Amino acid sequence: MDAMINKPTDKFQVYNSKGIRSLIKNFQRYKFIYMLMMPGILYFLVFNYYPLYFLQVAFKQYNVFSGLDNSPWVGFQNFVDLFKTKYFVNALWNTIVLSFMNNVFGFPVPIILALLLNEIRNQHFKKTAQTLIYLPHFLSWVIVGGIWLNMLSPQGGLINELLKLIGLQPIYFAADKGSFRWVLVFTHIWKESGWGTVLYLAAIAGIDIDLYEAAVIDGANRFKQVIYITLPSLIPTIIVVFVLSLAKILNLFEQVFVMYNPIVAEVSETIDTYVYQIGIAKGEMSFAIAVGLFKNIISLALVLSTNKIVKKIQGYSIV
């Protein structure tokens, strides 16, 4: 009887010891590769996995003086309080609207720019245009916000000066609730479309040139080549970029925080700026982390659901 009981344990110990020896042997053989991996592994451990421990603050009534361990548990009370606060509901609605506008009007722009740049035969002009389009991506939102707030200023701003030249009255873009969301969408497109354009240009460069040569023999013009060859070949890249963009679709902090003001806060306050106001300005850590966790759960659900839809349509998943 004892032999029957000890046999599985001994077998497990044998497998376990073999696994440890194999791991040590692999580490000795590929030690330089593991050493190259260590900075990346440490980065994710310190900045991505270690902070997960503090998610429990969202389920506690955290007090900085009592510490994490001595703060009382409140369960899901912080999440219940979210929807009882009109400011959070307004921030959630603004985030959804701005994210929707950014994707509807912003997502096609890099694809269109990549298709247009690909048709340019003057390489010098093409490289210059690509550089100018890509350059804003390297600027921080502080710089971009300062540039466009000055350009849209009703007093001396370039845009309003042009409006005056054609006989129109100046528009207070940064203080008008009706136009401020469009300012955010436009500046987002202006800054980030260059990065997507580079990705799609790289994908276009990988398309088999024989397809275009065959299309030319069949009498297809440049427009038909774009419609029937380039665009279908870009679909896998478009799907990947779209699914990955959903992971950060609700991340609207730097741009809004730099450009918004109390006058337009009703239509521009987002979840991230609300978390900043509650968590940093007012010190309500538990409530702020609950808001952030709720946002991340929504983002994860969007990615997984979209990935499932893509798998049903395309036959393969992205993540």
**b/e per residue 225-234 (b: at least 16 CB within 10 A):** bbeebbeeeb
Residue 13 pLDDT:
56
| Neighbour count for residue 125 (Cβ, 10 Å) | 11
pLDDT > 90 fraction of the chain, expressed in percent and rounded: 15
60: which strand partners? Answer: 73
Domain 77-314 fold: MetI-like fold (1.10.3720)
* Average pLDDT value for residue range 226-235: 90
Is a pLDDT exceeding 90 seen at residue 248? no
CA 186 – CA 259 distance, rounded (Å): 12
Angle in degrees, CA 246, 45, 15, rounded to 5: 110
Q: For residue 317, what pLDDT band results from cuts at 50, 70 and 90?
A: low
Residue 275 pLDDT:
87
Residue 2 pLDDT:
46
* Average pLDDT value for residue range 170-181: 86
Q: For residue 185, what pLDDT band results from cuts at 50, 70 and 90?
A: very high
Residue 4 pLDDT:
46
CA 109 – CA 188 distance, rounded (Å): 11
pLDDT (tens digit per residue) in 64-90: 777 888 888 888 888 888 888 888 888
CA 190 – CA 255 distance, rounded (Å): 12
Is a pLDDT exceeding 70 seen at residue 279? yes
CA 145 – CA 300 distance, rounded (Å): 29
CA 34 – CA 25 distance, rounded (Å): 12
pTM (predicted TM-score) = 0.79
Q: What is the mean pLDDT of the chain?
A: 84
Residue 12 pLDDT:
46
Q: For residue 32, what pLDDT band results from cuts at 50, 70 and 90?
A: confident
Token pair 């309500």: residue:
284
Q: What region, left, alpha or beta, does residue 247 occupy, with left being phi > 0 and alpha being psi -120 to 50 degrees?
A: alpha
Helices 108-118 and 231-246: crossing angle in degrees, nearest 10, is: 150
User: What H or E segment, with its residue span, contains residue 254?
Assistant: helix 254-259
Q: Which of 243-247, 269-273, 302-306, 314-318 bottoms out in mean pLDDT, i.e. has the lowest?
A: 314-318
Q: For residue 186, what pLDDT band results from cuts at 50, 70 and 90?
A: very high
* Average pLDDT value for residue range 119-138: 88
Residue 108 pLDDT:
92
> What distance, in Å, lies between the first and last C-alpha atoms of the chain?
48
pLDDT (tens digit per residue) in 207-216: 888 888 898 8
Domain coordinates in residue numbering, the chain: 2-57, 77-314
**b/e per residue 87-99 (b: at least 16 CB within 10 A):** ebebbbebbeebb
Residue 316 pLDDT:
65
pLDDT (tens digit per residue) in 190-227: 999 988 899 899 999 888 888 888 988 888 888 889 88
Residue 3 pLDDT:
46
Residue 189 pLDDT:
93
CA 238 – CA 65 distance, rounded (Å): 49
